[in-house]
Structure 1
Amino acid sequence: MAAIGRDAPAQSATADREIVISRVISAPRELVFEAFTEVRHLSRWWGPEGFTTTTRAFEFRVGGEWDFVMHGPDGTDYQEWISWTEIAPPERIALVHGESRDDPNAFESVLTFAPDGEATRIEMLTVFPTKELRDEAVEKYHAIEGGRQTLSNLAAYVTEIVRKGAED
């Protein structure tokens, strides 16, 4: 008879509202973390393939905000807003992300940056207010693939910085 309870893996109470994406990036943790903390970096890699970003305001501190527009490859503009709720360099960033400050459908994300040998393992855990909003993000906005592409863009960006630094 199978054991249920103590030995069964715990499932998060928010599992049906979550998206978890991770990637190992061939760059030091401090550099990968920095790529999230400075607008000069973010504007170079943020977003899925084919997207560009225009920043209207950026203040990286707990309670600070990033007000920006993502421009899709089809010409569609997406108003975006992020506020940081926790910053623990170079290990963790927590944030709220929506279309605006008072977006009732805003979601929370926690990014962790862990050493993985000479590389960095980044994990992005996103929790939506409801399962329906999570499913809509996946189906309508391709959130999982978009998240993977975003981390791929980050990896390419910081790997290039490391490569250029080695050439100097």
Structure 2
Amino acid sequence: MSIFETSRELAASPAEVFAAFEAPARLARWWGPAGFRNSFDVCEFRPGGAWQFTMHGPDGAKYWNESTFLEIERDRKVVIQHLSAPRFRLTVTLVPKGAATWLAWEQAFEDPAVAEAVRHIVVPANEQNLDRLAAELARDAA
């Protein structure tokens, strides 16, 4: 197993960050790297719930994604199992830090060879994903 980790302090409470995950319309706005948009077919935000969607790349390419929400702890944690290739488990942990939130993002790939092959995409994409989440939180606060 290979793990990619990133973290960030977000200028929002854990409840506000969690709300950006739990509302499908909001999640669709910020999920994925810069330039991508999403079309959700199914988004059952509950433990065991299905999440099926297409990511539309800036070049017009479409990427089908199928996942399951494994664990959800309100305002604390979201664990997602990505079922389509490349397979990984994403654990997002929210920790209060004053009026802000410390978000830890841990993406564990089942196959280390696959992880190494996509490292050049995943590392910057995860940072861009958190950039987009921060922008969504700022949009909601405005």
- The correspondence for 2:136, drawn from 145, 154, 157, is 157
Hey, what does 1:57 align to over in structure 2?
A: 42
Whose radius of gyration is greater, 1 or 2?
A: 1
| 1:74 lines up with 2:53 in the alignment | no
Cα distance in 1 for residues equivalent to 2:60 and 2:83: 20
1:7 is aligned to none
Q: Deviations over 1:46-82 (max 9, x none)?
A: 1111000000111111110110000000111000112
Counterpart secondary structure, 1:83: strand
What letter is aligned with 1:66?
Answer: W
- Structure-1 separation of matches of 2:100 and 2:7: 13
Give the distance between the partners of 1:70 and 1:23, measured in 2 at CA.
24
2:72, 2:79 within 8 Å by CA — same for their partners in 1?
yes
Contact kept, 8 Å, 1:25 with 1:159, in 2: the verdict is: no
* Alignment-derived partner of residue 134 in structure 1: 115
Given that 1:55 and 1:68 are in contact with CA atoms closer than 8 Å, whether structure 2 keeps it comes out as yes
Contact kept in structure 1, 2:68 and 2:83, CA below 8 Å: no
Give the % identical residues: 31
Distance (whole Å) between structure 1 residues aligned to residue 32 and residue 91 of structure 2:
17
Question: What is the match of residue 71 of structure 2?
Answer: 86
> Any idea what SS the aligned residue of 1:27 has?
coil
1:125 aligns with 2:125: no
Find out whether 1:108 has 2:93 as its counterpart.
no
CA distance in 2, matches of 1:39, 1:54: 10
Distance 1:78 1:152 in 2: 21
Q: Could you say what secondary structure the match of 2:110 adopts?
A: coil
In structure 1, stretches of 5+ residues that fail to align are 1-13
**TM-score where L is the length of structure 2:** 0.95
Structure 2 residue 76 is the aligned partner of structure 1 residue 97: no
Structure 2 stretches lacking a partner, 5+ long: none
